[in-house]
Structure 1
Amino acid sequence: MFRKELYVSEPQGKPIQALIRTYTEADFDALIEVQKGSFPPPFPSELWWNREQLHNHVTRFPDGALCVEIEGRVVASMTGLRVQLDPQHLEHTWAEITDEGYIRNHNPQGDILYIVDICVLPEFRKLGLGKWMMLSMYEVVVHLGLRRLLGGGRMSGYHRYSDSLTAEEYLEKVVRGDLHDPVISFLLRCGRVPVAVVPNYLEDEESRNYAALMEWQNPFRP
């Protein structure tokens, strides 16, 4: 079971005690509420976590099921699974690699921790919880001796430039700092490095269905 206590704060705000821990069945209702608050309509409600998905998370790979609790309230969560990928064939969809969030394809022998989802309630997003969860998942990678963490990042600002830039050119400009992308820039701040642009990753108009596959390599593995 993962458990880490720390203090977080808004810029120039007072410290707030937070707990990052493994989520369990007792948290299911709260986790669904976090999904609702993080992805409000017009986001389709059928894509919020359901209890069967959450049950699979805590039974198939509890090491990849993390949440943040503040003052006894679950306000954020992050989920992953273990996979094995051919580095020469990286193209995949979110639905394929995560089994549409059910993670029935979790491979206990896989050497990659793949991120399924990360969400933070809007009123808590100034506390840096997303970055703290990502750093905690890096610790899981090290603890399990895995080779790397991997996941697809939505290029949510790409729709503004898709008429003039390819997805690869857009990503390059974000990495150089010429453009800011809400998701990709956040992942860069967390230490993730782009490895490929994946088309048709997720049905998402803002990113024109593209995602940047981004990794963090375990520095203790060759």
Structure 2
Amino acid sequence: MNREYLYEKSCYVFRDGQPERLTIRSYTETDVEALIEIQRECFPPPYPPELWWNREQLLRHTELFPEGALCAEVNGRLVGSLTTLITAFDPQHPRHSWAEMTDNGYIGTHNPDGDTLYVVDISVSPSARGLGLGKQLLQSAYELVVALGLKRLLGGGRMPGYGAVRHEVTPERYADDVLQGRRRDPVIGFLLRCGRTPLAVVPDYLEDEESANHALLMEWRNPLLFLQRR
């Protein structure tokens, strides 16, 4: 690369057995249009279009917390992103909405003195799914948690299978069914495979018909925090 980023690493992913070079780096103003297009691809209707990133939001991410604004390139093509902020989180009071936590996606709530890295959004283009990019992006976020000495990574996981059965089971029972292997949910299952553990079901988290507006709050705790405090 011809320029320096606040965060940058390279590795390989495999498509049909063939290695392809993956770069995860900070995103910048020049990436804005490509990032918006990825949002359109990732979240088609009935997902509300007004919740896609806009230019002003993306520029705010790069201004307020550029270390936590990451994108993924495969063979030089932008195919994914991960946006985070830092917050002070009280596990005894987990209830919140995505809009409250993220300042409606503008991350004006970013608190450099907080203890928790919060996932605002993770998106991977459908054309690049199956390469493990979501897991690689979250791994980069875990590395950021360790580097900054934070307690945890936190985020609300969609429950896209819940809307179809909302009249049959409570959201808590649905989440427990997934954890016990009685049901499958693509998002919760993915986050579990990435090392996240559940904290609480949060109602009215985000306007999301498939999840009946619910999310499962899930964390990854910093396993090296005790070493940093010695």
Report if TM-score (shorter chain) is over 0.5.
yes
2:150 equivalent to 1:146: yes
Structure 1 runs not aligned, ≥5 long? none
User: Hey, what does 2:121 align to over in structure 1?
Assistant: 117
Aligned to 1:203: 207
Given the alignment, which residue of 69, 73, 77 partners 2:77? 73
Q: Which runs of 5+ in 2 are unaligned?
A: 1-5
Question: Structure 2 vs 1, CA of residues 42 and 201 (structure 1 numbering), >3 Å: closer, same or farther?
Answer: closer
The number of residue pairs the alignment matches comes to 221
- Distance in 1 (CA, whole Å) between partners of 2:200 and 2:137 is 23
TM-score (norm 2): 0.92
Q: Kindly state the Cα deviation for residue 25 of structure 1 after the two structures are TM-superposed.
A: 1.2
In structure 2, the partner of 1:174 is 178
Runs of 4+ in 1 over 4 A off after TM superposition: none
Q: 1:120, 1:102 → 2: CA distance?
A: 20
Q: TM-score, normalised by structure 1?
A: 0.96
In 2: Cα distance, 1:65 partner to 1:180 partner: 30
The range that moved more, 170-179 or 144-153, is: 170-179
Per-residue CA deviation, residues 31-89 of structure 1 (Å, 9 max, x unaligned), is 11111221234433322111111111111011111100112211000100000122211
- 1:143-194 CA-to-partner distances (Å, cap 9, x unmatched) read 1111000000011101232222211111111112221101100000000000
Q: Distance in 2 between matches of 1:210 and 1:104?
A: 23
Contact 2:155 2:218 in 1 (8 A): yes
How much identity, in percent, do the aligned residues show? 58
Tell whether 2:158 aligns with 1:160.
no
The CA RMSD over aligned residues, in Å, is 1.2
Counterpart of 2:11? 6
